[in-house]
Amino acid sequence: MYRKSAIELRDLFLEKKLTAVEITTYFLNRIEKYDRELKCYINVLSKRALNTAKKLDEKLKNNERVGRLAAIPIAIKDNIHILDEITTCASQFLTNYRAPFNSTLVEILESEGAIILGKTNLDEFAMGSSCEDSSFFPTKNPWNLSCVPGGSSGGSTASVSARLTPIGFGSDTGGSVRQPSAFCSVVGYKPSYGRVSRYGLVAFGSSLDQIGPIATNAKDIGLIMEAIGKHCKKDSTSLNLPQEIYLENMLESFKNIKIGVPFHFLENLNPSIRKNFDASLEILKQNGAEIIDINLDILKYSIAVYYVIATAEASTNLARFDGIRYGKRSKNAKTLNDIYKLSREEGFGEEVKKRIMLGTYVLSSGYKNAYYKKAQKVRTMIIKAFADAFSTCDFVCTPATPNTCFEFDSIKNPIDMYRQDLFTVPANIAGIPAISIPSGFDKDNKPIAFQMFAPQLHDVRLVQAASLFEKKINLKLKIPPLFDKE
């Protein structure tokens, strides 16, 4: 069953060949068997999942509506609220915080018949690129247990890769869905900013964050986006647009499609990444695409721009975590000042403290103009550069990551860690959709991925192009070796 896509599982349920309880039990058993080593989940919601499954079976039996995502198991990153469940954000600060409401994402998923299996691990408050910065435990990469799964949505991504669930959800602030998806050989999607509601997502960088799905194939991404890509009145950044259909009138070829590649920006690539990227472009050419060189040299500033804007917004968003309104209060505090100081000192990890300090600095008097306002100006230039590029091509393509997954504790320099998001942060800065698609493996059998960008709100066309690319590349090895012989 673990080789089935989300669409196939749903159809087996609708055809009454499998019950929702059977599907749910199967994946809960896989979690029980494998997650002790992988550590994808912070909290497995077995009782909730089985209760939902029983209700779905009863609805199907009585010919009631079961929803377009009926009986599809789903994993949720633990910075997205589920009513009455703990939302930790993988931080010691929130180990006692029980969500008082459902996120819009969860509301939609459950109304469409999805079965939520549990909350997954992440870098604390989604701040990291390796899932090593969780305050609980690191998650392992199913393809190589000595390597990181990427971050910050490492738990959800590794869970999909290990087939502990067919669908996972993460939040993508600078590549936190696409980068780990690339490391784990699954499909990761960042929608256009505002296409999916952020209501109930614990904010990191509000102008950059976007909830995105993770799946084993692009068609499953399309199915999920058909359900969740809708307007939300509770989210002021949600776009008031109708839902779209992704799985009809699918793209049949790349004929008459222009692919823009910023070749100058891609100089000095890792040799295995370069070889794979060139081979991926060749597949597009063989199927009718025209490859053109485009000027996106300004993207060399994207990491600097991202870490100024993201940390500034993080500093503002995390100001409310003070030991009074949310989360744990220090037991050592004796005065009001102690509560503020010690609660944050004891509750936040090193990476979170580092980003709060940096964000506070770039917003402080005397430095706001020098850093934050200048970063916003360059952001506008990056948005314009993408607009100019898309005036000459349909999609922009780059590698998803500058290198393959790396071993735990192997990157000591924080700047080197930040550079892991080199090819993913531009989409968040510009607010455009982007998708990471598995495209092969290096000599050590570590996954490599291809990334496609589209103009804002061209989500349907992008997912369809990814599905076509996936079909043409036809990867033979899609299951981590640990599970391939089952």
The catalytic site residues sit at 77, 152, 176
Length of the chain, please?
486
On the 0-12 / 13-18 / 19+ scale of CB atoms within 10 A, 248 is exposed
Give all strands of the β-sheet with 258-261 in edge-to-edge order: 41-44, 115-120, 73-77, 167-171, 211-215, 187-190, 434-441, 447-453, 395-399, 258-261, 290-293
Provide the CA 251 distance to its chain's centre, in angstroms: 24
Paired tokens of 94: 């929130």
Cα within 13 Å of Cα(252), Cβ side: 1
On the 0-12 / 13-18 / 19+ scale of CB atoms within 10 A, 239 is middle
Three-class HEC string of the chain: CCCCCHHHHHHHHHCCCCCHHHHHHHHHHHHHHHHHHHCCEEEECHHHHHHHHHHHHHHHHCCCCCCCCCCCEEEEECCECCCCCECCCCCHHHCCCECCCCCHHHHHHHHCCCEEEEEECCCHHHCCCCCCCCCCCCCCECCECCECCCCCCHHHHHHHHCCCCCEEEEECCCCCCHHHHHHHCCEEEECCCCCCCCCCECCCCCCCCCEEEEECCHHHHHHHHHHHCCCCCCCCCCCCCCCCCCCCCCCCCCCCCEEEECHHHHCCCCHHHHHHHHHHHHHHHHCCCEEEECCCHHHHHHHHHHHHHHHHHHHHHHHHCCCCCCCCCCCCCCCHHHHHHHHHHHHCCHHHHHHHHHHHHHHCCCCHHHHHHHHHHHHHHHHHHHHHHHCCCCEEEEECCCCCCCECCCCCCHHHHHHHHCCCHHHHHHCCCEEEEEEEECCCCCEEEEEEECCCCCHHHHHHHHHHHHHHHCCCCCCCHHHHCC
With CA atoms as reference, report the closest residue to 259 among 225, 232, 286.
286
Alpha-carbon span 303 to 333, nearest angstrom:
38
